[in-house]
Amino acid sequence: MDEKILDDIISRYDSPSGRLLGILGEIQNSERYIPRESLDMLAAKLSVPLSQLYSLVTFYSFFSLQPVGDHRVTVCMGTACHVKGAAAILKTLEQLLRLPEGVTEETRSPVTTEDNAFTLEIARCFGACSIAPVLRVDNNLYGYATPDGLPAILEEYGWRKHED
């Protein structure tokens, strides 16, 4: 990670309240994951033990130590979405992206396709319960999702149906 970018991020947090999570969040958004060097640099710059940073990054769901694919597909598994069929959405996406069935819920961490095009993960609730079931691709939210409508959504991001 570019040290200048990190310094710039740190400079925005002069108050200790919310600083660590805020900085880590910006690193996650800027690099699309938390690169290991960024933690080493951050530990040195803030005089915080690396073990504390590692603890934070592995505790909070928002951070990923693994690089994500080009497009991030997040399925909401909140209560309203569950009641409206989120499980079927997740299962269909695993099929369309040719990922092992059940892998997302089992590993509880983002799963990336072999060609690195898509990362699939679950979220606990976006708060868009009225348009359940909901999925998000990058920064775009899709409501009233149906298994049949998923190919069209994925195609917007360069996915193509594989002919078996």
Partner 1 sequence: MTDAAQNRTEEAPDRVTITVTINGKAYPAEEGEILLAVAIRNKIDIPHLCYEASLSPYGACRLCMVEVRKKGRTEMTTSCTLRATEGLEVFTDTPEILRHRKMLLELYLAEAPKSEVIKSLAAKYGVTRTRFFRKVEPADPLGNRCVLCGLCVRVCNEIMGGGVISFVNRGPYTVISTPFLEESSICLGCGACAQVCPTHAIEIEDTGDVRVMKSWAETKVKLRACPVCGKYFAPDVLAEKTLAKINPPLSQEILNICPECRGKHLAQQEILAASGNFNGGK
Partner 2 sequence: MKIESHAGFINQQRIGLQKLKPDIPRITVGLATCGAAVGGTAIFERLKKSIEEQGLDISLIPTGCIGYCREEPIVTITHPGKPLVLLHKVQEEDTDEILRAVKSGSVPFDKALCQIEAWDHLMGYTINYGEGFEEIPLYEEIPFFGRQHKVILRDTGLINPEDIDEFIAVGGYSAAYLALTGMHPDQVLEEVEKSGLRGRGGAGFPAGLKWRITREKESDIKYIICNGDEGDPGAYMNRNEMESDPHMLIEGMILGAYAIGVQEGLIYIRAEYPLAIKRLKHAIEQAREYGILGPNIFGTAFSFDIQIAIGAGAFVCGESTALIASIEGRTGRPHPRPPRLTDSGLWGKPTDLNNVETWCNVPVIIKNGSDWYTTIGAPNNTGTKVFSLVGDVDKVGLVEVPLGTTLSTIVFDVGNGGADGKQVKAVQTGGPSGGCIPARLFDTTVDYESLNAIGTIMGSGGIVVMDEETDMVDIARYFISFATGESCGKCIPCREGLKHLLLLLNRILAGKGTDADLVTLKDLSETIVATSLCGLGQSAPNPVLTTLAYFREEYEELVRS
Tokens found for residue 86: 């989120």
Contact 83/132 with Cβ under 8 angstroms?
A: yes
141 binds partner 2 (CB under 8 A): yes
150 binds partner 2 (CB under 8 A): no
The residues in 13-72 that bind partner 1, with binding defined as CB under 8 A, are 36, 39, 49-55, 58-59
**Region of 147 on the Ramachandran plot (φ > 0 left; ψ -120 to 50 alpha; else beta):** alpha
163 binds, among partner 2, partner 1, none (CB under 5 to 8 A by kind): none
Of 1-9, 52-60, 88-96, 150-158, which part binds partner 2 (CB under 8 A)? 52-60
Beta strands in the chain (DSSP E): 71-76, 111-112, 118-123, 135-137, 140-142
End-to-end CA distance of the chain: 40
36 binds, among partner 1, partner 2, none (CB under 5 to 8 A by kind): partner 1
The residues in 76-105 that bind partner 2, with binding defined as CB under 8 A, are 77-84
142 strand-pairing partners: 135
Interface contacts to partner 1, rule CB under 8 A: 36, 39, 49-55, 58-59, 108
